[in-house]
Amino acid sequence: KEYLTPVAMTGQLTDRTTHQILTPPDDRVDWSGRDATQLEQYLRKVGYVPHWIPTECVAAFPATTQTENLVSLQQIMDDINKIDPPIHPVDYKGKRTPVDAPFAARLKENLADRTKICLYDEDMRRA
């Protein structure tokens, strides 16, 4: 309700395929206690739903909107994937990485056997 009223009901959401303004089904903003199937379908039409599989990738959010930051994050991930033997969570048992360590060091610890990053990219920013 707090989101649908000021955003969806004022024409700020569009169908990602047709680009037509869409309001919630039956212009309903309060879905409390109701079957939310129609709302879920609506949100899929107006929202960007990335194909992220949490067991395969870790979410990464660039510091700025510049394309160079996306490339830099991917390059760091590529460099980590070249490490032989591969890094595993057990490698960090009792050896925590300091919070002020470089990004690459913190990312390595948080990968937990994942080999990809799911980048918050330009398509998501535009959505």
pTM exceeding the 0.75 threshold for the entire prediction: no
- Burial 12-41, CB ≥16 within 10 A → b, else e: ebeeeeeeeebbbeeeebeeeeeeeeebee
Residue range 55-114, pLDDT digits in tens:
999 999 888 888 888 899 999 999 999 999 998 899 999 998 999 999 999 999 999 899
The per-residue pLDDT for 31 is 96
